[in-house]
Protein backbone atom coordinates (compact mmCIF):
# COMPACT_ATOMS: atom_id res chain seq x y z
CA UNK A 1 0.00 0.00 0.00
CA UNK A 2 2.99 2.33 0.65
CA UNK A 3 2.87 5.74 2.27
CA UNK A 4 0.13 7.30 0.23
CA UNK A 5 -1.06 10.82 1.02
CA UNK A 6 -4.52 9.39 0.52
CA UNK A 7 -4.33 7.26 3.65
CA UNK A 8 -6.22 7.64 6.90
CA UNK A 9 -5.10 5.99 10.11
CA UNK A 10 -7.60 4.55 12.56
CA UNK A 11 -6.93 3.07 15.96
CA UNK A 12 -8.97 -0.11 16.30
CA UNK A 13 -10.17 -0.99 12.79
CA UNK A 14 -10.59 -4.60 14.01
CA UNK A 15 -12.40 -3.47 17.13
CA UNK A 16 -15.74 -1.65 17.61
CA UNK A 17 -16.11 2.04 16.66
CA UNK A 18 -12.84 1.99 14.73
CA UNK A 19 -14.24 -0.71 12.42
CA UNK A 20 -17.22 1.50 11.53
CA UNK A 21 -14.88 4.41 10.82
CA UNK A 22 -12.56 2.22 8.73
CA UNK A 23 -15.50 0.79 6.77
CA UNK A 24 -16.84 4.29 6.06
CA UNK A 25 -13.37 5.35 4.83
CA UNK A 26 -13.02 2.28 2.62
CA UNK A 27 -16.44 3.02 1.13
CA UNK A 28 -14.93 6.34 0.04
CA UNK A 29 -12.00 4.50 -1.51
CA UNK A 30 -9.60 5.82 1.09
CA UNK A 31 -6.57 3.79 2.01
CA UNK A 32 -6.70 2.80 5.66
CA UNK A 33 -3.94 2.05 8.12
CA UNK A 34 -5.06 0.49 11.37
CA UNK A 35 -3.23 0.76 14.63
CA UNK A 36 -4.37 -2.30 16.57
CA UNK A 37 -2.77 -4.30 19.34
CA UNK A 38 -2.67 -7.40 17.18
CA UNK A 39 -3.59 -8.50 13.68
CA UNK A 40 -6.93 -10.17 13.13
CA UNK A 41 -6.77 -12.29 9.99
CA UNK A 42 -10.39 -13.37 10.42
CA UNK A 43 -11.76 -9.82 10.49
CA UNK A 44 -13.71 -8.82 7.36
CA UNK A 45 -11.58 -5.67 6.99
CA UNK A 46 -8.28 -7.44 7.51
CA UNK A 47 -7.38 -7.79 3.85
CA UNK A 48 -8.27 -4.18 3.11
CA UNK A 49 -6.34 -2.28 5.78
CA UNK A 50 -2.65 -2.03 6.50
CA UNK A 51 -1.82 -3.21 10.00
CA UNK A 52 0.60 -1.54 12.39
CA UNK A 53 0.88 -2.27 16.08
CA UNK A 54 -0.90 -0.02 18.55
CA UNK A 55 1.71 0.32 21.27
CA UNK A 56 3.09 3.29 23.14
CA UNK A 57 6.58 2.12 24.11
CA UNK A 58 8.22 2.73 20.74
CA UNK A 59 7.37 6.25 19.60
CA UNK A 60 9.57 5.92 16.49
CA UNK A 61 7.63 2.86 15.32
CA UNK A 62 4.35 4.67 15.98
CA UNK A 63 5.48 7.70 13.95
CA UNK A 64 6.69 5.41 11.14
CA UNK A 65 3.32 3.63 11.11
CA UNK A 66 1.52 6.95 10.77
CA UNK A 67 3.69 8.19 7.92
CA UNK A 68 1.55 8.84 4.89
CA UNK A 69 -1.67 9.34 6.85
CA UNK A 70 -3.31 12.73 6.46
CA UNK A 71 -5.83 12.05 9.24
CA UNK A 72 -5.74 10.01 12.42
CA UNK A 73 -9.02 8.81 13.91
CA UNK A 74 -8.31 7.97 17.53
CA UNK A 75 -10.67 5.61 19.33
CA UNK A 76 -8.05 4.37 21.82
CA UNK A 77 -9.22 4.28 25.41
CA UNK A 78 -9.69 1.80 28.26
CA UNK A 79 -13.08 1.07 29.73
CA UNK A 80 -11.75 0.60 33.25
CA UNK A 81 -8.34 0.51 34.93
CA UNK A 82 -6.76 -2.91 35.20
CA UNK A 83 -3.36 -4.58 35.51
CA UNK A 84 -1.59 -1.30 36.27
CA UNK A 85 -3.13 0.48 33.28
CA UNK A 86 -4.97 3.51 34.63
CA UNK A 87 -7.02 6.27 33.02
CA UNK A 88 -4.06 8.51 33.71
CA UNK A 89 -1.74 6.21 31.75
CA UNK A 90 -4.32 6.08 28.94
CA UNK A 91 -4.10 9.90 28.73
CA UNK A 92 -0.29 9.66 28.71
CA UNK A 93 -0.54 7.08 25.89
CA UNK A 94 -2.73 9.46 23.90
CA UNK A 95 -0.05 12.13 24.30
CA UNK A 96 2.52 9.70 22.87
CA UNK A 97 0.19 8.99 19.96
CA UNK A 98 -0.37 12.70 19.34
CA UNK A 99 3.37 13.42 19.31
CA UNK A 100 3.89 10.55 16.87
CA UNK A 101 1.13 11.95 14.66
CA UNK A 102 2.78 15.38 14.69
CA UNK A 103 6.15 13.84 13.75
CA UNK A 104 4.49 11.90 10.92
CA UNK A 105 2.95 15.17 9.67
CA UNK A 106 -0.60 13.95 10.08
CA UNK A 107 -2.79 16.89 9.06
CA UNK A 108 -5.75 16.39 11.36
CA UNK A 109 -6.77 14.29 14.33
CA UNK A 110 -10.34 13.22 14.95
CA UNK A 111 -10.56 12.11 18.54
CA UNK A 112 -13.43 10.03 19.89
CA UNK A 113 -14.29 11.12 23.42
CA UNK A 114 -17.54 10.78 25.39
CA UNK A 115 -20.54 12.99 26.10
CA UNK A 116 -20.19 15.36 29.06
CA UNK A 117 -16.54 14.95 30.00
CA UNK A 118 -15.41 17.40 32.69
CA UNK A 119 -12.06 18.07 34.30
CA UNK A 120 -13.80 18.55 37.64
CA UNK A 121 -15.89 15.38 37.39
CA UNK A 122 -15.86 13.11 40.42
CA UNK A 123 -15.88 10.19 37.98
CA UNK A 124 -12.40 9.15 36.85
CA UNK A 125 -13.62 8.06 33.42
CA UNK A 126 -15.23 11.40 32.57
CA UNK A 127 -12.47 13.46 34.19
CA UNK A 128 -9.73 11.69 32.24
CA UNK A 129 -11.74 11.90 29.04
CA UNK A 130 -11.68 15.68 29.54
CA UNK A 131 -7.91 15.54 30.14
CA UNK A 132 -7.49 13.51 26.94
CA UNK A 133 -9.46 16.16 25.06
CA UNK A 134 -7.17 18.82 26.51
CA UNK A 135 -4.15 16.85 25.29
CA UNK A 136 -5.67 16.80 21.81
CA UNK A 137 -6.42 20.53 21.87
CA UNK A 138 -2.88 21.30 23.09
CA UNK A 139 -1.18 18.97 20.59
CA UNK A 140 -0.70 21.65 17.97
CA UNK A 141 -2.48 19.42 15.45
CA UNK A 142 -5.63 20.48 13.68
CA UNK A 143 -8.29 18.60 15.63
CA UNK A 144 -11.93 17.63 15.96
CA UNK A 145 -13.46 15.87 18.95
CA UNK A 146 -16.54 13.68 18.66
CA UNK A 147 -18.33 12.95 21.92
CA UNK A 148 -20.64 9.91 21.68
CA UNK A 149 -23.21 8.93 24.26
CA UNK A 150 -23.76 5.14 24.39
CA UNK A 151 -22.83 3.61 21.05
CA UNK A 152 -25.13 0.89 19.75
CA UNK A 153 -24.17 -1.60 17.10
CA UNK A 154 -23.85 -5.32 16.57
CA UNK A 155 -20.46 -5.37 18.31
CA UNK A 156 -21.49 -3.40 21.39
CA UNK A 157 -20.90 -5.02 24.77
CA UNK A 158 -23.26 -3.43 27.32
CA UNK A 159 -26.55 -3.71 25.41
CA UNK A 160 -25.69 -7.27 24.39
CA UNK A 161 -25.12 -8.27 27.97
CA UNK A 162 -28.34 -6.62 29.11
CA UNK A 163 -30.10 -8.65 26.39
CA UNK A 164 -28.17 -11.79 27.31
CA UNK A 165 -29.24 -11.57 30.96
CA UNK A 166 -32.82 -10.71 29.99
CA UNK A 167 -32.96 -13.88 27.91
CA UNK A 168 -31.47 -16.01 30.62
CA UNK A 169 -32.93 -15.02 33.99
CA UNK A 170 -36.52 -14.81 35.27
CA UNK A 171 -35.81 -11.60 37.21
CA UNK A 172 -33.96 -8.51 36.06
CA UNK A 173 -33.00 -5.78 38.51
CA UNK A 174 -33.22 -2.16 37.41
CA UNK A 175 -30.73 -0.04 39.36
CA UNK A 176 -32.69 2.57 41.34
CA UNK A 177 -35.84 4.08 39.87
CA UNK A 178 -34.73 3.55 36.25
CA UNK A 179 -36.00 7.01 35.28
CA UNK A 180 -32.57 8.44 34.45
CA UNK A 181 -32.33 8.93 30.72
CA UNK A 182 -29.95 7.75 28.04
CA UNK A 183 -29.60 8.82 24.42
CA UNK A 184 -27.90 6.03 22.47
CA UNK A 185 -26.25 6.71 19.13
CA UNK A 186 -25.61 4.27 16.30
CA UNK A 187 -22.00 3.29 15.58
CA UNK A 188 -22.53 4.17 11.91
CA UNK A 189 -23.70 7.64 12.93
CA UNK A 190 -20.55 8.11 15.03
CA UNK A 191 -18.45 7.05 12.04
CA UNK A 192 -20.31 9.35 9.67
CA UNK A 193 -19.84 12.31 12.02
CA UNK A 194 -16.16 11.48 12.50
CA UNK A 195 -15.63 11.61 8.73
CA UNK A 196 -17.63 14.83 8.45
CA UNK A 197 -15.54 16.68 11.02
CA UNK A 198 -12.32 15.34 9.50
CA UNK A 199 -12.98 17.49 6.46
CA UNK A 200 -12.58 20.91 8.09
CA UNK A 201 -9.60 22.71 9.52
CA UNK A 202 -10.97 24.44 12.58
CA UNK A 203 -10.76 23.11 16.14
CA UNK A 204 -14.17 21.59 16.69
CA UNK A 205 -16.01 19.60 19.34
CA UNK A 206 -19.38 17.98 18.68
CA UNK A 207 -21.65 15.53 20.46
CA UNK A 208 -22.72 12.34 18.72
CA UNK A 209 -26.12 11.48 20.13
CA UNK A 210 -29.10 9.64 18.74
CA UNK A 211 -32.60 10.78 17.91
CA UNK A 212 -34.22 9.20 20.99
CA UNK A 213 -33.72 9.99 24.65
CA UNK A 214 -35.36 7.41 26.84
CA UNK A 215 -35.45 6.40 30.50
CA UNK A 216 -33.13 3.49 31.27
CA UNK A 217 -36.08 1.30 32.26
CA UNK A 218 -37.74 1.98 28.89
CA UNK A 219 -34.50 0.96 27.17
CA UNK A 220 -34.43 -2.30 29.12
CA UNK A 221 -38.10 -2.95 28.27
CA UNK A 222 -37.44 -2.34 24.57
CA UNK A 223 -34.61 -4.85 24.63
CA UNK A 224 -36.70 -7.34 26.62
CA UNK A 225 -39.48 -7.15 24.05
CA UNK A 226 -37.08 -7.48 21.12
CA UNK A 227 -35.43 -10.61 22.52
CA UNK A 228 -38.71 -12.16 23.71
CA UNK A 229 -37.66 -12.05 27.36
CA UNK A 230 -40.19 -13.02 30.00
CA UNK A 231 -38.05 -11.69 32.84
CA UNK A 232 -39.83 -9.72 35.52
CA UNK A 233 -38.26 -6.29 35.99
CA UNK A 234 -37.79 -5.33 39.61
CA UNK A 235 -36.17 -2.29 41.15
CA UNK A 236 -33.26 -2.58 43.53
CA UNK A 237 -30.84 -0.12 45.11
CA UNK A 238 -28.16 0.68 42.49
CA UNK A 239 -25.36 -1.00 44.45
CA UNK A 240 -27.41 -4.20 44.79
CA UNK A 241 -28.42 -4.26 41.10
CA UNK A 242 -24.83 -3.71 40.02
CA UNK A 243 -23.54 -6.38 42.40
CA UNK A 244 -26.05 -8.85 40.94
CA UNK A 245 -25.08 -7.97 37.36
CA UNK A 246 -21.42 -8.44 38.20
CA UNK A 247 -22.12 -11.69 40.06
CA UNK A 248 -23.65 -13.02 36.85
CA UNK A 249 -20.67 -11.70 34.89
CA UNK A 250 -18.21 -13.54 37.14
CA UNK A 251 -19.31 -16.77 35.46
CA UNK A 252 -17.51 -15.26 32.45
CA UNK A 253 -14.73 -13.79 34.64
CA UNK A 254 -15.95 -10.38 33.56
CA UNK A 255 -17.39 -7.12 34.92
CA UNK A 256 -20.71 -6.12 33.38
CA UNK A 257 -20.94 -2.59 34.75
CA UNK A 258 -18.52 -0.52 36.79
CA UNK A 259 -19.67 1.68 39.67
CA UNK A 260 -18.56 4.76 37.75
CA UNK A 261 -20.47 3.69 34.64
CA UNK A 262 -23.64 3.26 36.67
CA UNK A 263 -23.16 6.62 38.39
CA UNK A 264 -22.57 8.29 35.02
CA UNK A 265 -25.74 6.67 33.73
CA UNK A 266 -27.73 7.86 36.75
CA UNK A 267 -26.32 11.38 36.34
CA UNK A 268 -27.56 11.30 32.73
CA UNK A 269 -24.06 11.84 31.37
CA UNK A 270 -25.00 9.75 28.34
CA UNK A 271 -27.50 12.39 27.27
CA UNK A 272 -26.45 15.27 25.02
CA UNK A 273 -27.42 18.90 25.59
CA UNK A 274 -27.14 19.73 21.91
CA UNK A 275 -29.24 18.93 18.91
CA UNK A 276 -29.04 15.24 18.06
CA UNK A 277 -26.86 14.51 15.04
CA UNK A 278 -27.57 10.78 14.86
CA UNK A 279 -30.06 9.43 12.33
CA UNK A 280 -30.59 5.79 13.18
CA UNK A 281 -33.56 5.12 15.46
CA UNK A 282 -32.59 3.09 18.51
CA UNK A 283 -36.09 1.64 18.83
CA UNK A 284 -36.11 0.46 15.21
CA UNK A 285 -32.57 -0.89 15.51
CA UNK A 286 -33.34 -2.91 18.63
CA UNK A 287 -36.47 -4.37 17.05
CA UNK A 288 -34.52 -5.30 13.94
CA UNK A 289 -31.62 -6.91 15.83
CA UNK A 290 -33.59 -8.68 18.56
CA UNK A 291 -32.82 -12.12 17.13
CA UNK A 292 -29.09 -11.69 17.65
CA UNK A 293 -28.96 -9.28 20.61
CA UNK A 294 -27.66 -11.11 23.65
CA UNK A 295 -27.51 -14.49 21.91
CA UNK A 296 -24.22 -14.90 23.77
CA UNK A 297 -22.38 -13.10 26.54
CA UNK A 298 -19.75 -10.62 25.30
CA UNK A 299 -16.85 -10.30 27.68
CA UNK A 300 -15.05 -6.97 28.02
CA UNK A 301 -12.14 -8.74 29.69
CA UNK A 302 -11.79 -11.34 26.94
CA UNK A 303 -12.09 -8.71 24.22
CA UNK A 304 -9.95 -5.96 25.62
CA UNK A 305 -7.66 -7.43 28.25
CA UNK A 306 -6.60 -10.74 26.79
CA UNK A 307 -3.27 -11.04 25.00
CA UNK A 308 -4.35 -14.15 23.09
CA UNK A 309 -4.32 -13.93 19.29
CA UNK A 310 -7.69 -13.02 17.83
N1 LIG B 1 -18.73 1.93 23.29
C2 LIG B 1 -19.47 2.96 23.73
O3 LIG B 1 -20.69 2.85 23.99
C4 LIG B 1 -18.85 4.31 23.89
C5 LIG B 1 -19.63 5.37 24.37
C6 LIG B 1 -19.07 6.64 24.47
C7 LIG B 1 -17.75 6.85 24.12
N8 LIG B 1 -17.02 5.81 23.68
C9 LIG B 1 -15.62 6.06 23.30
O10 LIG B 1 -15.45 5.67 21.95
C11 LIG B 1 -14.11 5.19 21.77
C12 LIG B 1 -14.17 3.81 21.16
O13 LIG B 1 -14.86 2.95 22.05
P14 LIG B 1 -15.16 1.46 21.66
O15 LIG B 1 -16.13 0.95 22.65
O16 LIG B 1 -15.46 1.39 20.23
O17 LIG B 1 -13.75 0.79 22.00
P18 LIG B 1 -12.96 -0.43 21.37
O19 LIG B 1 -13.22 -0.51 19.91
O20 LIG B 1 -13.21 -1.63 22.20
O21 LIG B 1 -11.44 0.02 21.62
C22 LIG B 1 -10.97 1.21 21.04
C23 LIG B 1 -9.46 1.17 20.91
O24 LIG B 1 -8.86 1.10 22.20
C25 LIG B 1 -8.03 -0.05 22.27
N26 LIG B 1 -8.23 -0.66 23.58
C27 LIG B 1 -9.41 -1.01 24.15
N28 LIG B 1 -9.19 -1.54 25.36
C29 LIG B 1 -7.85 -1.54 25.54
C30 LIG B 1 -7.00 -2.01 26.58
N31 LIG B 1 -7.49 -2.59 27.67
N32 LIG B 1 -5.66 -1.84 26.45
C33 LIG B 1 -5.14 -1.26 25.32
N34 LIG B 1 -5.90 -0.81 24.30
C35 LIG B 1 -7.23 -0.96 24.41
C36 LIG B 1 -8.49 -0.98 21.17
O37 LIG B 1 -7.39 -1.76 20.73
P38 LIG B 1 -7.53 -2.89 19.60
O39 LIG B 1 -7.68 -2.15 18.31
O40 LIG B 1 -6.28 -3.65 19.67
O41 LIG B 1 -8.75 -3.68 19.96
C42 LIG B 1 -8.96 -0.02 20.10
O43 LIG B 1 -7.90 0.41 19.30
C44 LIG B 1 -13.45 5.24 23.14
O45 LIG B 1 -12.73 6.44 23.25
C46 LIG B 1 -14.62 5.25 24.10
O47 LIG B 1 -14.32 5.89 25.31
C48 LIG B 1 -17.51 4.55 23.55
pLDDT tens digits, 87-137: 999 999 999 999 999 999 999 999 999 999 999 999 999 999 999 999 999
User: Nearest C-alpha to atom 33 of ligand 1 is from which residue?
Assistant: 78
Distance from residue 191's CA to the centre of ligand 1 (Å): 14
Q: Domain check: are 131 and 174 in the same one?
A: no
Mutate-to-test residue for ligand 1 from 17, 219, 278, highest number of ligand atoms within 8 A of CB: 17
What is the β-pairing status of strands 31-36 and 7-11?
parallel
Single out the residue of 185, 184, 188 nearest to residue 214, CA to CA.
184
User: Nearest C-alpha to atom 12 of ligand 1 is from which residue?
Assistant: 75
- Supply the pLDDT for residue 254: 87
- Supply the pLDDT for residue 2: 44
d(CA 10, CA 72): 6
Q: Domain check: are 22 and 130 in the same one?
A: yes
3-state secondary structure of 214: strand
For residue 3, pLDDT over 50 is answered with no
d(CA 114, CA 87): 14
| Residue span of the structural domain in which 163 resides | 158-182+212-272+280-303
Judge whether 153 lies within some domain. no
Number of domains in the chain: 2
Distance from residue 77's CA to the centre of ligand 1 (Å): 5
Q: Report the nearest atom of ligand 1 relative to the CA of 149.
A: 6
Q: Domain check: are 118 and 169 in the same one?
A: no
Q: Domain check: are 137 and 164 in the same one?
A: no
Q: Domain check: are 75 and 111 in the same one?
A: yes
d(CA 80, CA 42): 27
Judge whether 199 lies within some domain. no
Distance from residue 245's CA to the centre of ligand 1 (Å): 22
Q: Domain check: are 115 and 36 in the same one?
A: yes
Judge whether 120 lies within some domain. yes
Please state the rounded mean pLDDT for residues 47-64.
98
Judge whether 220 lies within some domain. yes
Judge whether 141 lies within some domain. yes
> Are the C-beta atoms of residues 21 and 73 closer than 8 Å to each other?
yes
pLDDT band at 249 (very low <50, low <70, confident <90, very high): confident
Q: Report the nearest atom of ligand 1 relative to the CA of 158.
A: 3
Give the residues surrounding ligand 1 with Cβ less than 6 Å away.
11-12, 14-18, 36-37, 54, 75-78, 112, 114, 148, 150-151, 304-305
Amino acid sequence: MGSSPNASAVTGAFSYTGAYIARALLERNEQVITLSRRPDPGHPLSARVRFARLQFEDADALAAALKGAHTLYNTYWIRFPRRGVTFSSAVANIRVLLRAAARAEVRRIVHISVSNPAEDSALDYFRHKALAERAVAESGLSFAVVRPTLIFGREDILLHNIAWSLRRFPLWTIPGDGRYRIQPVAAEDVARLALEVAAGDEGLTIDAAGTETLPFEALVRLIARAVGSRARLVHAPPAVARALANLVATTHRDIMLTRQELTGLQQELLVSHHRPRGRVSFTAWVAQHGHQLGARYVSERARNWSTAPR
